[in-house]
Chain A
Amino acid sequence: MIEIKNLTKRFAQHTAVDDLSFSVQAGEVLGFLGPNGAGKSTTMKMLTGFLAPTSGTASILGFDIQKDTLKAQRQIGYLPEGAPCYGDMTVRSFLEFIAEIRGFKGAEKRERVAKAVAQVELEAVLEQSIETLSKGFKRRVGLAQAILHDPKVLILDEPTDGLDPNQKHQVRKLIQSLAYDKIVIISTHILEEVSAVCTRAVVIAHGKLLADGTPLELESRSRYHQAVTLVAEEPLDKDALAALPGVAGVEENALEHSLSILAKPGEVIFAQVNALIAERGWKVRELNVERGRLDEVFRSLTRGEGL
């Protein structure tokens, strides 16, 4: 378990992380969300023992990161932002260096390196020096380095940043396959990633915790949660739709004859809307019930607009 209590980091000019508290259990994949400069990376740097907090504590599987730094660090696999690696080393020698630092020797070292290499598919570039690799490969070297010792805690700072869609998909699958017995914390500002891999999302801005819940819970905070979007071949009667029970409002979309009918919180309006369509005999081409729009929740949360 990771426990963060009243974690605060002040720099000379500003407060990067402001009294942050939460805990993460094994098996959870926590998506750490926030706009740039929200304090995501700073929090991760404190969790991994790179930065000392101004106040507050963080403990990794019971080891305080300030007092039992090395013991805590042994439990962690960390991919820093931008995946820094020693550019003059080859992929193999770099991973063997990490394996030795992690205390592996001889056959076990080679096994560990081979396994990590296979997991992120680095076989083709093993003997190349890291500085000659593309951004995607560098990122995967960083991932291989982090998962090499099969850590109980995986902290990944923007693991898919700069990857192409295929590589993103692959990294997400890797994270999901690793996650069952681990604690995984990933920071991202790509929201689809949260719905794709995370079991829990924490939103921060200006160093403060704004929301904490499953991606579904977050989506349900959207005003588009349970909204029904229609695309018809003829004009629709906005007023009739707005008058239906449980409807909070009707919005026109960019497309012609397309409306979004918003539900009041906790209401399901699909049945009513459907009944009205049947009654009026509208020719409806498309009909969608929305789960909610995470990007909209994110925007309204981080800009301080009330939901």
Chain B
Amino acid sequence: MSQLPVIFKRELASYFATPLAYVFILIFLVLSGVFTFYLGGFFESGQASLAPFFNFHPWLYLFLVPAIAMRLWAEERKSGTIELLMTLPITRFDAVTGKFLAAWVFAGLALLLTFPMVITVNYLGEPDNGAIITGYIGSWLLAGAYLAIGSCMSALAKNQVIAFILSVSVCFLFIVSGFPMVLDGFSAWAPQWVIDAVASLSFLTRFDAISKGVIDLRDLLYFLTLIAAWLAATAVVIDLKKAD
């Protein structure tokens, strides 16, 4: 029998055992409100759409999601509980996936708590609620990709601060890989397919498409593959580094 649900349950409960969860949710809600109403110009745009809300998510997550992910493995290694966990009869897959899913569900919970946005925009106008739903799905997938990267970085570093900085850096690379400033660096010497490949790695283009209401199977696959790949990397890193 798979022990994944047991791991998942313990990990999720551990978020709420400390003030961390509540602080995180509070900061997330305040910042997403600030971004939407002040920086995003929600009212000034005069449109009944949550685009100003979703547009900032890649940047908001850049700092908030690594903060959830940093403790996933770094804490286990620092406190030595990884030795306990890895000598219990559970598979590497159950441990890595269970912990990741707990963090992902937690991020989803924080995201769901932004529902007053949806109520507001429906009160003010008649938005495309289908686009809002895909926006939420896209945002959650994005958070999952950030978390999977954060999980791997957390396995790599024993120190949570280093894990945080590493995952912010790697996530940043995945955001900007679609930007002209990065692509220009390649266009001078690299063949077109390399540029396309780098550009296609970007979170932003994929996320934009989904949050505008266009769910392309390829975009879904992109996020899910990315998550799976980083989780596989996490498992490998844990095996290499667990005893350090």
Q: Chain A residues in contact with chain B, CB under 8 A?
A: 45, 48-51, 70-71, 73-74, 76, 78, 80-82, 84-89, 93, 97-98, 100-103, 129, 145
Contact = CB atoms under 8 A, between A and B. Distances in A.
Given A70-B91, A100-B6, A103-B1, A89 B14 contact: yes
B169 interface: no
Contact of A78 (B9, B14, B87): B87
A266 to B, nearest CB: 45
Contacts of B10: 86, 89, 97
A73 B86 CA distance: 10
Given A73-B88, A80-B80, A101 B6 contact: yes
A84 B9 CA distance: 20
B13 interface: yes
20 contacts: A45-B243, A49-B86, A50-B242, A51-B243, A73-B87, A73-B89, A81-B80, A82-B80, A84-B84, A86-B81, A87-B79, A88-B14, A88-B18, A89-B17, A100-B3, A100-B6, A100-B9, A102-B88, A103-B1, A129-B17
B81 A84 contact: yes
Contacts of A100: 3, 6, 9
Contacts of B14: 86, 88-89
B84 A102 contact: no
Nearest to B91: A70
Contacts of A85: 81, 84
B17 A45 contact: no
Contacts of A145: 84
Interface in B74-97: 79-81, 83-84, 86-91
B88 A80 contact: no
B91 to A, nearest CB: 7
Contacts of A103: 1
Contacts of A89: 10, 13-14, 17
Interface of B: 1, 3, 6-7, 9-10, 13-14, 17-18, 79-81, 83-84, 86-91, 242-243
Contacts of A49: 86-87
Given A88-B17, A100-B6, A101-B6, A45 B84 contact: no
Contacts of B89: 70-71, 73-74, 101-102
**Which of B1, B9, B83 has the most CB atoms of chain A within a 10 A radius of its CB?**
B83
Nearest to B242: A50
A93 B13 CA distance: 10
- In the A-B complex, list the 9 residue pairs whose CB atoms are closest, starting with the nearest: A84-B80, A73-B89, A48-B87, A88-B17, A80-B83, A100-B6, A74-B89, A84-B81, A70-B89
A50 B13 contact: no
Contact of B87 (A76, A87, A88, A102): A76
B84 A80 contact: yes
A100 B18 CA distance: 23
A95 to B, nearest CB: 12
**Which of A70, A86, A102, A129 has the most CB atoms of chain B within a 10 A radius of its CB?**
A86
Contacts of B79: 84, 86-87
Contacts of A80: 80, 83-84, 87
Nearest to A72: B89
Nearest to A84: B80
A302 to B, nearest CB: 24
A81 B80 CA distance: 9
A197 B81 CA distance: 28
Contacts of B7: 101
Contacts of A97: 6, 9-10
A100 B88 CA distance: 11
Contacts of B84: 78, 80, 84-85, 145
Nearest to A47: B87
Contact of A101 (B13, B18, B90): B90
Contacts of A98: 88
**Which of B9, B10, B13, B87 has the most CB atoms of chain A within a 10 A radius of its CB?**
B87
A86 B168 CA distance: 27
A70 B93 CA distance: 13
**Which of A45, A89, A93, A101 has the most CB atoms of chain B within a 10 A radius of its CB?**
A101
Contacts of A86: 10, 14, 79, 81
**Which of A78, A80, A102, A103 has the most CB atoms of chain B within a 10 A radius of its CB?**
A80
A78 B80 CA distance: 13
B18 to A, nearest CB: 6
Contacts of B242: 50
